[in-house]
Homo-oligomer: A and B are copies of this chain.
């Protein structure tokens, strides 16, 4: 059995050469010839929200690359409240802790429909011995995660409710500026921003009334980027 509790669909083992995130994924640094090594079971699965990738405290034997979708990393406070410490998106890596034999430090839960590669730790270790480039690539991953963590602290836990919401919406639109962004439950939004669901609801309602955001089908939003940026900057 794997550590992936909910497997909605299974795309089958597939060659990373064809991966859509080839250039930004973990094995991007490998030469073509190295892919001969990849006859390991790298599985590609699809998760429907709110599927659980892993639970806090579990010791997994796989790391994940997120090919599509959004995943939240959740911690729990002494009083039982949840706090979302980060979101992961396209080409981000999850569960690097498994490489160090450490238990996962969060719950990882899909916020949208996700496409995820599961890569056995044993494979990474084997390749890592010969491929110092893989080692470098892994460090890049960690560094990126750290930069995001710092950004979350600085942007999403600081300022007024309106500023935080605006910044989060802009963050969500970063990958594809101008495109509609998915909006999720008020409870999740609150846990990301350190606000209550009611405050988030009110703030979003106000942005909508002022025309800074517009509802689209499928819970998608179109943003007034410049105006939101003005709010975000205070």
Contacts and interface: CB of A to CB of B under 8 A. Distances in A.
A20 interface: no
A78 interface: yes
Contacts of A150: 73, 75, 85-86, 105-106, 149
Interface in A123-169: 128-129, 132, 135-136, 138-140, 142-143, 145-147, 149-150, 152-155, 157-159
Main secondary structure of the interface of A (DSSP, over half): helix
A42 B77 CA distance: 41
Contacts of A75: 150, 153-154
Contact of A77 (B78, B83, B158): B158
A19 B143 CA distance: 27
Contacts of A140: 100
Interface residues of A, number: 42
Contacts of A149: 85, 146, 149-150, 153
A29 interface: no
Contacts of A152: 153
A232 interface: yes
Nearest to A82: B154
A234 interface: yes
23 contacts: A73-B150, A75-B153, A78-B233, A83-B153, A85-B150, A97-B143, A100-B139, A100-B140, A100-B143, A106-B150, A128-B132, A128-B135, A129-B132, A139-B139, A139-B142, A142-B143, A142-B146, A149-B150, A152-B153, A153-B153, A153-B157, A157-B157, A157-B194
